[in-house]
Amino acid sequence: MATYKIQEKELQSVFENLLKKNIVEGIMVQKKGEHGIFPVLITDPDLLEGITPSAPLFSFNRAVLLQNNGCRKLAVVVNPCEARAINELKKLNQIDMDNLIVISGDCLGTFDPKDVQMDSTSPENIAEKKSELRTACTVCEHFTPPEVDIAIYGIGVDGGLVLSTDREELLEGLSLTPGEPSANRDAEIKKILDEHLAAKEKMVSGISETLSTTDGTIELFKHCIRCDNCRDVCPICYCKVCYFQTPLGDLKTDDMVNQASIKGLLRIPPDILFYHLTRNIHVAPGCVECGACEEACPRDIPLLPVWKALASDVQSIFDYIAGMEKEVPLPLVQFKEDEFED
C-alpha cells in the first residue's frame, strides 16, 4: 500500500492524470458553480478547475446512479457511506467494478446543500456549523473510507491530506511525496467514534421496543402515504421490478374494492406495514445507514432510527459490516456450518 502526503488542491492533478491518460472517460465529483456546489460528471480535464471533492455535502446517495453502469470507465469521488453502498451493489451484481475507480476520504460529517453551502471539510469549518450536520452523520460509525481504489485521509494528518492506494498505476507520471498519517490518527478516530456511538444509543433507545410489537410498528408507520421515496433513494433497494410496482402490490381502484369487500373496509393506501416490513427484510443486511430515506420522507417518519436499530442488529448477528470490504460475501448467500450453534 503506497501512501503520499498531498494538499487538497493537488487532487485536481490526480484527476487530470486519470483523464489525460485515458484511464477513465469521466470523473464524477463535486464542483463549485454559479449556483452552488453540485455533483457533476466531467470528461474534459480542462473543466476540473473549481472542483471541491471534499466539500461536506450530501443531497442523495450517488451509488444509485451507478447501478447497471455499463462499459464506460469512470472514477467517482464519494463519501464513505456511498462507497460502502457501491461495494454492496458490486456483491449484488448491480455494478461492474472493472469499469469503476472509487475514491473516498475521511468524513467529518455532511450537510444538506439546500440548507448549508460549504467548500471545505476542515474541522474548524464543520465545527462552526456542527448543529446543522445531517442527523445520519452524527451517529455514523464508519466515517473513514472502506475498501476503495484510492483513499484520502484527513483525520490525524498534520497540514494536508494523505492519499493511500494499492493501485499505483493510477498515479503513474505524478510527482507525489511519500507520507503517512500521524501516530494519533487511531486515537482521533476513536474519540469521534465514541461520540457517535453515544448519540446512536440515545437515538435508538426507544425505537427497538416500539418495533418489537405489532401495535408499536403500526403506530410508527401510520402516517406513511406510500410515496415510495424511501425505496427510490435507497441504493440497496435494487430490484429491477419491485413487488409494489406489480398488479399484486400496486392496487388499482377495482382491486381495492375487491379487498374491501372481504371485511367491508380497507385502509388506504393499502399494505403500508407490508411495504415497510418487506423493505426491512430485503435491505437490513446491506443497509449502509446513509439516512437518505428519512430525508426523502415527506411525512417525517423516523426512518433513520429504525434502520440504525435494525441494520445494526441484523449485521451484528452475522458479524458483518455492509460495504466495508469488496470480497466478503453477503451474509445471506453463504453458509457456515458452525454459525448459530447457541
**The pLDDT of residue 258 is above 90:** yes
Q: What is the arithmetic mean of pLDDT over 57-67?
A: 94
* The predicted structure's pLDDT at residue 206: 84
Q: What is the arithmetic mean of pLDDT over 15-26?
A: 97
291: left (phi over 0), alpha (psi -120 to 50) or beta: left
Cα 279-285-288 angle, rounded to 5 deg = 90
- Domain residue extents for the chain: 2-203, 204-333
Contacts of 14 (CB under 8 A, 6+ apart): 6, 150, 163, 171, 174
- C-alpha distance from residue 172 to each of 20, 164, 175, 176, 324 (Å): 12, 14, 9, 10, 27
Q: What distance in Å separates the CA atoms of residue 167 and residue 100, rounded to the nearest whole number?
A: 13
pLDDT in tens, 265-284: 999 999 999 999 999 999 99
Task: Give the mean pLDDT of the chain.
Answer: 93
Q: Which residue has the cell 421496543?
A: 209
pLDDT-wise least confident of 147-151, 156-160, 218-222: 156-160
- Contact indicator for 93, 117 with CB cutoff of 8 Å: no
Residue in 153, 152, 146, 168 with CA at minimum distance from that of residue 89: 146
Q: What distance in Å separates the CA atoms of residue 220 and residue 101, rounded to the nearest whole number?
A: 40
The confidence band for 121, taking pLDDT boundaries of 50, 70 and 90, is: low
**The pLDDT of residue 22 is above 90:** yes
**The pLDDT of residue 118 is above 80:** no
pLDDT-wise least confident of 22-26, 49-53, 135-139, 145-149: 49-53
**Selection from 76-80, 203-207, 252-256, 265-269 with the highest mean pLDDT:** 76-80
Burial pattern 100-130, b for ≥16 Cβ within 10 A else e, equals bbbbbbbbbbbbebeeeebeebeeeebeeee
* The predicted structure's pLDDT at residue 236: 95
* The predicted structure's pLDDT at residue 74: 97
Would you state the cell numbers that stand for residue 113, as one nine-digit string? Answer: 446543500
pLDDT-wise least confident of 33-42, 52-61, 89-98, 111-120: 111-120
pLDDT-wise least confident of 201-205, 297-301, 335-339: 335-339
Q: How many C-alpha atoms does 34 have within 13 Å on its Cβ side?
A: 0
% of the chain with per-residue pLDDT over 70 = 97
* The predicted structure's pLDDT at residue 127: 74
Q: What distance in Å separates the CA atoms of residue 94 and residue 66, rounded to the nearest whole number?
A: 8
Q: What is the arithmetic mean of pLDDT over 121-147?
A: 87
* The predicted structure's pLDDT at residue 122: 65
- 100 sits in which H/E element: strand 100-105
pLDDT in tens, 308-317: 999 999 999 9
**The pLDDT of residue 13 is above 80:** yes
Neighbours of 87 (CB within 10 A): 26
- β-partners of residue 42 are 27
* The predicted structure's pLDDT at residue 342: 67
* The predicted structure's pLDDT at residue 131: 86
* The predicted structure's pLDDT at residue 334: 78
- Contact indicator for 97, 71 with CB cutoff of 8 Å: no
Q: What is the arithmetic mean of pLDDT over 107-122?
A: 82
pLDDT in tens, 232-242: 999 999 888 89
* The predicted structure's pLDDT at residue 123: 66
In terms of Cβ atoms closer than 10 Å to its own Cβ (0-12, 13-18, 19+), residue 74 is buried
Q: What distance in Å separates the CA atoms of residue 197 and residue 278, rounded to the nearest whole number?
A: 28
Report which DSSP code applies to 238.
-
* The predicted structure's pLDDT at residue 119: 65
